[in-house]
Structure 1
Amino acid sequence: MVKVVQAFLAQPGVLLVLKTLASLVGVLFVVQLARWMNLGGDVRIRDEDHAGALADEAMCGFVPVAVGLDKARIGALVRDAQGRVMLIRRHGSHFAARLLESHAGVRLDQQFLTVSTGDSRFGTITLNLGPDAQAWAASLRRLEG
């Protein structure tokens, strides 16, 4: 039996094939492990309540009174009773949020609202707010700056 295995391994290219198969099995194992742990995936904001919960998670006590949800559900604008507006956007498999302090980085293009916070790490996001885009753009003009 040992001689048969040695003869098999002595064949040219057999070790390369075995290494490749072992690597493939390892990759498939990691993929299955990631699925089991619910890592990655296509994370979206489910609805307006979810956007409000994300805003409260980002800033404790932020109670939304209005939510502008992107059609693709990758971002949202959330306003509270004090007039503060929070921008929420997808960041990998999580969400990031910033309070908007100025309307300087806001640009309206029909139903699309492009918002930049000035924070280079947060970046710029274009939200498809549909017919609500104009109302949100007008309300953001009330912010200082």
Structure 2
Amino acid sequence: MEAKLIQLGASLLAILALAWIAYRLHLGGDARIRNEADARRLADEAVSGFVPVDFAIDRAGYAALLRDAAGRVLLLRRHGAHFAGRLLDGHTASRLDQQFLTIGTSDKRFGSVTLDLGPQAQAWAASLRRV
């Protein structure tokens, strides 16, 4: 009986230790782009020195499109508990479906992203044709 209690206590301590490690490494959680400040910070992390002048954040906060003064467009998307970004180029494929804009990059590993941009979707789809 005593051995089982010791085993239970050790198991609980191990679980708490793993939870603490996950917390310290910022694993899991609900990573979302909540506002313009988040989008700006994530854009600078993805492409150093990228300063957006125009942006559109997905309604769920899982992705965003940002344009800088030079006309470059950066696509941010959630990748696990973090965000990844790619500059869009001439090989970008986009498809508009009402308020949803699906974008595929030339980087196949990045995959395609569907953003719910609401009324902004049409304007962004038109601007991506010029990239």
TM-score range for the pair, normalised by the shorter chain length: 0.7 to 0.9
Q: How does 1:51-62 map to 2 (within 5 A)?
A: 51-62=39-50
User: Which range moves more in the overlay, 125-134 or 36-45?
Assistant: 36-45
User: Which range moves more in the overlay, 106-115 or 55-64?
Assistant: 55-64
Q: Contact 1:71–1:128 (CA<8 Å) still a contact in 2?
A: yes
Counterpart-to-counterpart distance in 2, 1:123 and 1:21:
45
Counterpart-to-counterpart distance in 2, 1:97 and 1:104:
14
- Alignment of 1:128 with 2:125, yes or no, is no
**Which ranges in structure 1 are unaligned for 5 or more consecutive residues?**
1-7
Q: How does 1:73-84 map to 2 (within 5 A)?
A: 73-84=61-72
Q: Which of 101, 107, 110 is the equivalent residue of 1:119?
A: 107
Q: Contact 1:103–1:140 (CA<8 Å) still a contact in 2?
A: no
Q: Contact 1:100–1:117 (CA<8 Å) still a contact in 2?
A: yes
For these two proteins, the number of residue pairs brought into alignment is 131
User: Which range moves more in the overlay, 84-93 or 24-33?
Assistant: 24-33
Superposed CA deviations along residues 54-79 of structure 1, whole A, max 9, x for unmatched, are 21222222221100100011110000
Counterpart-to-counterpart distance in 2, 1:46 and 1:104:
26
Aligned structure 1 segments of 4 or more residues deviating by more than 4 angstroms: 17-21
Percent of aligned pairs with the same amino acid:
56
Cα RMSD of the aligned pairs, angstroms, is 2.2
Q: Contact 2:91–2:106 (CA<8 Å) still a contact in 1?
A: no
Q: Contact 2:93–2:104 (CA<8 Å) still a contact in 1?
A: yes
> Rg bigger for which structure?
1
User: Which AA in structure 2 matches 1:112?
Assistant: F
Q: How does 1:89-128 map to 2 (within 5 A)?
A: 89-102=77-90, 104-128=92-116
Q: How does 1:1-145 map to 2 (within 5 A)?
A: 8=1, 19=7, 22-35=10-23, 38-102=26-90, 104-143=92-131
- Report the alpha carbon displacement of residue 32 of structure 1 after superposing the two structures with TM: 3.6
Using structure 1 for the length normalisation, give the TM-score: 0.77
